[in-house]
Amino acid sequence: MSGQNGQAPAELLSANNITALFDSVDAFLFDCVIWKGDKLIDGVRQTLDVLRSKGKKLIFVTNNSRRSRRQYAHKFHSLGVSVSEDEIFSSSFAAAMYLKVNNFPQENKVYVIGGEGILEELRQAGYTGLGGPEDGEKRVQLKSNCLFEHDKNVGAVVVGLDPHINYYKLQYGTLCIRENPGCLFIATNRDAVGHLTDLQEWPGAGCMVAAMCASTEKEPIVVGKPSTFMMEILSKKFQIASSRMCMVGDRLDTDILFGQNAGCKTLLVLSGVTTQSTLQDPSNNIQPDYYTNQVSDILELLGQ
């Protein structure tokens, strides 16, 4: 039996197939949904420890651009998990890396619609970021003869999730992209919504990115999932082929698609936004290799 697009339906991860998966990969990539709000999901710490003890590389790949890698490492530590900055790939970092690998000139500036995490990653990479939280309270003057000025040295606009989005930032970014020759338009990711709080979902980066697409009439370069840009960077860094990795995540259209696009094995966990009925609905055409209820099932199935 095969699913839509000829994809075989996902297999439930079990004691029978986990060894085959385990032996076929050298690294496990996790979305940062191993926590919920400010708590680690039960059994995650032990699972990560066991994977490490068995020689598997652990890499954390998130579309969330609000934090820098340093800030993520701090969060991991506060939850009692030892993860180094080097093992974290956030879309904020990916945006800075995209500029770096494409030799974006250090003297050009970057306008940011998004959070402090993006600005910090830009600084780490040696770039000057403008905008971000600082422009959150700025207002526009819509008087007849007022001219809205923008910096002509902005050579890239990076757009991520921005809870302080306003018309000032939209006009600033739009003018840079429309009027500064060759100005890049980079999106950290295009998630529709995200769990910014425990109790509900909120508009995601896709919301700010779509607004900018509409006013500029241009499409962005997307560096977060499901684009494989982060995979290229991390595969090179750790010298592990993507075919020897397993992407573990809770979203079909970002995590699992990212893993598939990159040629990884894929494991969907049902502890986040995707339910079993969504996975098995005939309208869903993204089938991971495996699915399981939660990350800690790995531990149990490995007999630990």
Q: Which residues bind its own copies (CB under 8 A)?
A: 37-38, 140, 142-148, 162-167, 170-171, 174-175, 190, 192-193, 196-200, 202-204, 206-217
Shortest spacing between CB 117 and its own copies, in angstroms:
14
Shortest spacing between CB 244 and its own copies, in angstroms:
34
Around Cβ 209, how many Cβ atoms within 10 Å?
25
Task: List Cβ neighbours of 59 (8 Å cut-off, separation of 6 or more).
Answer: 27, 28, 29, 30, 87, 88, 89, 234, 238, 245
Please name the helix (run of DSSP H) or strand (run of DSSP E) that holds residue 277, with its range, or none: helix 276-280
Q: Which is nearer to its own copies, 214 or 241 (CB)?
A: 214
Cβ–Cβ under 8 Å, residues 110 and 130: yes
Around Cβ 47, how many Cβ atoms within 10 Å?
25
Q: Which is nearer to its own copies, 8 or 192 (CB)?
A: 192
Question: 1: helix, coil or strand?
Answer: coil
Distance CA(33)–CA(272), nearest Å, equals: 7
Question: 29: helix, coil or strand?
Answer: strand
Q: Which is nearer to its own copies, 64 or 292 (CB)?
A: 64
Which of the residues 23, 31, 151, 255 is marked catalytic? 31
31 included as an active-site residue = yes
Instruction: Write out the two tokens for 190.
Output: 């295009």
Cβ–Cβ under 8 Å, residues 172 and 164: no
Shortest spacing between CB 153 and its own copies, in angstroms:
19
Angle at which helix 91-101 crosses helix 116-124, to 10 degrees, equals 40
Shortest spacing between CB 165 and its own copies, in angstroms:
6
Q: Which is nearer to its own copies, 87 or 162 (CB)?
A: 162
Q: How many residues does the chain have?
A: 304
Task: List Cβ neighbours of 238 (8 Å cut-off, separation of 6 or more).
Answer: 27, 57, 59
DSSP letter for 256, please: I
Instruction: Write out the two tokens for 54.
Output: 């068995």
Angle at which helix 205-216 crosses helix 167-179, to 10 degrees, equals 50
Instruction: Write out the two tokens for 176.
Output: 């840079």
Q: Which is nearer to its own copies, 20 or 214 (CB)?
A: 214
Shortest spacing between CB 196 and its own copies, in angstroms:
5
Distance CA(94)–CA(226), nearest Å, equals: 13
Shortest spacing between CB 65 and its own copies, in angstroms:
15
**Was 225 annotated as part of a binding site?**
yes
Q: Which is nearer to its own copies, 1 or 146 (CB)?
A: 146
Residues forming the active site = 31
Binding-site residues, in ranges, read 31, 225, 250
Binding-site residues for Mg(2+), in ranges, read 31, 250
